[in-house]
Amino acid sequence: MLKATILVVEDEGDILELVKYNLEQAGFRVIVARDGLQALDLLREQTPDLVVLDLLLPNLDGREVCRRIRRSPQTNNIPVLILSALGEETDRVVGFEIGADDYLTKPFSPRELVLRVKAIMRRGRRDSQQQEVLRVGDLAIDPGRHLVEAQGQGIELTATEFRLLHHLAANAGRVQTRQMLLERVWGYTFDGYARTVDTHIRRLRKKLGPYGPLIQTVRGVGYRFSDQP
Ligand code: CA
């Protein structure tokens, strides 16, 4: 079986070596970039299965790299795990706002990093197993092609937003708590991260435009996808 490839973008040599070593030990193929521009150059030639991205980088910072990964149709679906020394809640939220799939704060344990990477990979595989196109009113959600269309118009979503929408729509009419969404969409739960769900829902609604209100807030409980479009 072909090894999954991970691009690690990190300017600090020690951390780069630590991350590379642990990911290789876990069976991944690792390619590296030392700054933001080098990362984007690499992404023009290769399509890794995941990007581990430091935020504070020379030349082009991690936030901008992440935004550009999300903007390009060639890289939009590649999951991004942010690494950063910035540990405040606001920075985590920024990480998710720019389209990251997960976030680890330095110092982190290499074991935790490998677990997170594997969780993201598992989610990817799960998505590709569910190939059936889901239709809700004017929306068509196609997990095989990773595509959402509203009346024939494509809507660009990140990998996590897509999973979130797919999960909500597949359970239309049923309330999903934040805890359930974290477990089923992110693949694990983490304390104090309920706001992660809210942040993603907010972005998803915005991208869905007139279809955004299909995702209803159930006060004090969670969210529900309307089964009456
Ligand atoms: Ca750095």
The reply to whether 59 and 140 lie within a common domain is no
Which structural domain range is residue 24 located in? Answer: 5-126
The reply to whether 122 and 139 lie within a common domain is no
Q: What is the CA radius of gyration of the chain?
A: 17
Number of domains composing the chain: 2
Spacing, Cα 217 to ligand 1 middle (Å): 38
* Residue 183 binned pLDDT confidence (cut-offs 50, 70, 90): confident
Spacing, Cα 11 to ligand 1 middle (Å): 5
Model confidence at 3: pLDDT above 90: no
pLDDT (mean) for 18-27? 96
With 0.85 as the threshold, say if the pTM is over it: no
Q: Region of 99 please: left (phi>0), alpha (psi -120 to 50) or beta.
A: left
The reply to whether 176 and 204 lie within a common domain is yes
Spacing, Cα 107 to ligand 1 middle (Å): 12
